Amino acid sequence: MSSMLPSSTRVVSGMRATGRLHLGHYHGVLKNWIRLQGQYECFFFVADWHALTTHYEDPGVIAQSVRDMVVDWLAAGVDPQSATLFVQSDVPQHAELHLLLSMITPLGWLERVPTFKDQQEKLRERDLATYGFLGYPLLQSADILAYRAAFVPVGEDQVAHIELCREVARRFNYLYGREAGFLEKAEEALRIMGRKSAKAYKDLREAYLEKGDKGALETARALVERQANMTLGDKERLLGYLEGYGRLILTEPQALLTPQSKIPGVDGQKMAKSYGNVIGLREGPDEVARKIKTMQTDPARKRRTDVGNPDLCPVFRFHEIYSSEDTKAWVRSGCTTASIGCLQCKQPVIEAINAELAPIRERARELEQDNAHVRTILAEGARQAREAADDTLGDVRRAMGLAWE
Ligand code: TRP
Ligand code: SF4
């Protein structure tokens, strides 16, 4: 019998394989992952199946993107010693769980997910009236539930997907969490706890189920987890019973909102590939210099002799990320009195970006030349992921009547 206890601090996140990464990804997603990998048991994967749901007509892009993306992660500091890194399609358990969850997921739940219609409208050049695309958020739910993850770092646009995932987990637990003779088994487990603890458990359970007292739920969970002479199966039963289910087979995850990257694109809009305004993680120093030199400034500052306002200038937003207080003060006074030119102002930004990217470029170059190393990392990651996911799938198959031996 597997245990849900150690996985309560698992984190799962995926990135669609749609190309190379840029500074926006670095300052948003990747820095966040790097922080999380030191705190939780993290599973990070390249979502190549998810890429196929929209890009099924160009498989060539996907294969190349998988490699590029993993090289970018590693070069940026995502650490395969701290986090499990893998490719979604190397872990068939995600697909199996997706299939099994599809049996119990009402169509209406999927049709109502806002991204379904939004993306169909946005990506008009692609035909997204497909079965696979409708199932996108359910596949994502399987990605998460397969590991019984507690947290899922995602952007704002993905919160509705996590909500669906929670509903699916709840429905699954509701349908399959009640084993035959459950109440008797729970009573038996309570007897093992001893009279005093059993009474405390019952009171706390009532306080949670009847009054929604979350503190009582936490206390009761801790009480169950402290029981030294109880089997893991009994612990799971008592944990599940606390929330009104028989057993919690799948864990409802929570979204961890990724802090928005403050980096603007070179046109002042959000940095995004589709806007053509990105600085790539592996771009060379000259390319970075060229992009910053031709970047938008305060539109009011047309001539060198015009004064400008840094608060209206996207270049200053780079200074806010990269520059010291002294440099920012120099920009402010120089810009508002027209005593420095925009090219002068941009120079420290160019230098700071290049200093940040230098070690990333260097590591990426080494990784590019060591294909075998990247392959080994992904093979080992996939092995660990399959093992973790299969633990959950064992319980799911049994619960759904598929363990016939
Ligand atoms: N849908 C996510 C996105 O577009 C990518 C993704 C796929 C994902 N599976 C996931 C994110 C599981 C978090 C967890 O960004
Ligand atoms: Fe922007 Fe700097 Fe030029 Fe002022 S001097 S407009 S802050 S680039």
Q: Whose CA is nearest to atom 8 of ligand 2?
A: 342
For residue 276, give every residue at least 6 positions away whose Cβ sits within 8 Å of its Cβ, in sequence order, or none.
Answer: none
Residue type at 175 in one-letter notation: L
Q: Which ligand is nearest to the CA of 332?
A: 2
Report whether residue 154 contacts ligand 1, using a CB cutoff of 6 Å. Answer: yes
Bridge partners (DSSP) listed for residue 153? 256
Residue 5, pLDDT score: 42
Q: Which of 63-72, 145-154, 234-243 has the weakest average pLDDT?
A: 234-243
Domains and CATH numbers, the chain: 10-177+251-261+370-399 (3.40.50.620), 182-242 (no CATH), 273-367 (1.10.240.10)
State the closest ligand 1 atom to the C-alpha of 139, by its place in the atom list counted from 1: 9
CA of 389 to the centre of ligand 1 (A): 17
Bridge partners (DSSP) listed for residue 151? 11, 254
pLDDT of 2 higher than 70: no
State the closest ligand 1 atom to the C-alpha of 149, by its place in the atom list counted from 1: 14
pLDDT tens-digit map of 343-374 = 999 999 999 999 999 999 999 999 999 999 99
CA dist list (Å): 158 to 42, 113, 164, 300: 19, 10, 10, 38
- Which of the 8 DSSP states describes residue 269? S
- Average pLDDT of the chain? 92
**CA–CA separation, 314 and 281 (whole Å):** 19
**CA–CA separation, 330 and 111 (whole Å):** 54
Report whether residue 48 contacts ligand 1, using a CB cutoff of 6 Å. Answer: no
Residue 44, pLDDT score: 98
Q: Which ligand is nearest to the CA of 133?
A: 1
Residue 223, pLDDT score: 95
Count other Cβ atoms within 10 Å, centred on residue 54: 19
State the closest ligand 1 atom to the C-alpha of 137, by its place in the atom list counted from 1: 1
- Give percent above pLDDT 90 in the chain: 76
Q: Which of 168-172, 212-216, 283-287 has the weakest average pLDDT?
A: 212-216
Report whether residue 298 contacts ligand 2, using a CB cutoff of 6 Å. Answer: yes
pLDDT tens-digit map of 83-136 = 999 999 999 999 999 999 999 999 999 999 998 888 888 888 888 889 999 999
Report whether residue 12 contacts ligand 1, using a CB cutoff of 6 Å. Answer: yes
pLDDT of 8 higher than 60: no
Which tokens belong to 20? 């190379």
Degrees (nearest 5) of the Cα angle 39, 226, 170? 65
- At 242, the pLDDT band (50, 70, 90 cuts) reads confident
pLDDT of 227 higher than 60: yes
Q: Whose CA is nearest to atom 4 of ligand 1?
A: 16
The predicted model gives 57-70 an average pLDDT of: 91
The predicted model gives 290-301 an average pLDDT of: 95
CA dist list (Å): 328 to 241, 290, 291: 58, 22, 21
Q: Whose CA is nearest to atom 8 of ligand 1?
A: 14
**181-189: long-range contacts, CB 8 A cutoff, minimum separation 24:** 182/237, 182/241, 182/246, 182/247, 185/234, 185/237, 186/237, 186/238, 186/241, 188/234, 189/230, 189/234, 189/235, 189/237, 189/238
Query: Which is higher by pLDDT, 190 or 382?
Result: 382
CA dist list (Å): 205 to 214, 276, 279: 10, 55, 54
Q: Which ligand is nearest to the CA of 315?
A: 2
Distance of CA 228 to the CA centre of its chain: 34
Residue 183, pLDDT score: 80
Residue 1, pLDDT score: 37
Report whether residue 128 contacts ligand 2, using a CB cutoff of 6 Å. Answer: no
pLDDT of 194 higher than 80: yes
Report whether residue 135 contacts ligand 2, using a CB cutoff of 6 Å. Answer: no
Ligand 1 pocket mutation pick from 40, 88, 110, 161 by most atoms within 8 angstroms of CB: 161
Q: Dihedrals φ, ψ of 87, to 5°?
A: -110, 130
pTM to 2 decimals? Answer: 0.85
- Give percent above pLDDT 70 in the chain: 98
